[in-house]
């Protein structure tokens, strides 16, 4: 076989076959092939890991923390329980106006008024009945007839009652025949219910002839009359 030209010797690279390489390394040809494949796979994996990403930069598509507006829901307002004012009159320890929660019932109003007196007719009350603002709760005594009519006080009526009672003089006895319900409440032990009952008694039976006739009004007994007597008088309406 002839010697190749000098120019060809510089351009040719002898690549041993797997069999020849196996003989040189002292291994089987299969081992040489598997090793070559492993080297090739490692080279491809390294290229894939180091290649430049083809997609957009995550920094360009993900918002920065400072640029995101976080909406915080406003706190829900606390429900307003509300308050009511109730006029408690009759056979209670402390008759008068009492402020209560809006969800109150008759039992709550009675408790706020100091509880029932010994004369109160408990069976005529519905303690579970709900109350409303401006309500008037009348607690009857045992044997007392239906509650007295609520007398509306018009403008100037109170002044007329007091003038008829004492002629406008401070400290003068109160004329129970001319005083209106508001003026009658100034007498000791006379609340809105008894004041209205006195007015109703006058309307049905005529004027009182003596202060002692006040005991004819249901709810006024001898003890209460003794407290009223020095401060009351009778006269022509």
pLDDT tens, position by position, 208-226 = 999 899 999 988 988 888 8
Residues in the chain: 237
Kindly state the tokens that stand for 226. Answer: 């003794």
How many CB atoms are located within 10 Å of the residue 221 CB?
14
User: What proportion of the chain, given as a percentage, has pLDDT over 70?
Assistant: 59
Instruction: Tell me the C-alpha distance between 77 and 100, whole Å.
Output: 22
**Which sign, positive or negative, has the C-alpha torsion 143, 149, 150, 152?**
negative
- Kindly give the residue spans of alpha helices, DSSP state H, lying in the chain: 6-9, 18-25, 29-50, 58-61, 106-112, 157-166, 181-184, 192-205, 222-228
Cα–Cα distance between 84 and 74 in angstroms, integer? 30
Q: 83-90 and 136-139: which strand pairing?
A: parallel
pTM score over 0.85: no
131-173 tens-digit pLDDT: 888 888 889 888 877 655 555 443 333 444 443 333 334 457 8
Question: How wide is the angle at C-alpha 201 spanned by C-alphas 199 and 203, nearest 5°?
Answer: 70
Token pair in block for residue 118: 């010994």
How far CA 116 is from CA of 45, 111, 140, in Å, comes to 95, 8, 10
């Amino acid at each position: 076989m002839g010697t190749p030209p000098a120019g060809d010797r510089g351009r040719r690279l002898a690549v041993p076959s797997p069999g020849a390489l196996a003989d040189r390394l002292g291994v089987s040809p299969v081992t040489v092939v598997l090793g070559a494949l492993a080297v090739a796979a490692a080279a491809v994996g390294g290229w894939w890991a180091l290649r430049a990403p083809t997609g957009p930069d995550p920094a360009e598509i993900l918002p920065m923390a400072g640029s995101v507006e976080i909406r915080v829901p406003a706190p829900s307002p606390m429900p307003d329980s509300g308050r009511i004012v109730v006029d408690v009159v009759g056979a209670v320890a402390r008759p008068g106006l009492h402020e209560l929660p809006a969800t109150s019932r008759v039992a709550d109003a009675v408790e706020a008024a100091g509880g029932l007196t010994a004369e109160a007719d408990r069976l005529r009350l519905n303690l579970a009945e709900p109350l409303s603002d401006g309500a008037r709760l009348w607690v009857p005594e045992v044997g007392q007839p239906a509650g007295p009519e609520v007398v509306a006080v018009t403008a100037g009526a109170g002044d007329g009652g007091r003038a008829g009672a004492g002629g406008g003089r401070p400290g003068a006895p109160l004329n129970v025949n001319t005083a209106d319900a508001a003026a009658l409440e100034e007498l000791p032990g006379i609340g809105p219910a008894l004041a209205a009952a006195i007015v109703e008694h006058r309307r049905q039976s005529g004027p009182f002839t003596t202060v002692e006739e006040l005991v004819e009004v249901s709810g006024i007994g001898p003890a209460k009359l003794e407290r009223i007597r020095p401060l009351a008088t009778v006269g022509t309406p």
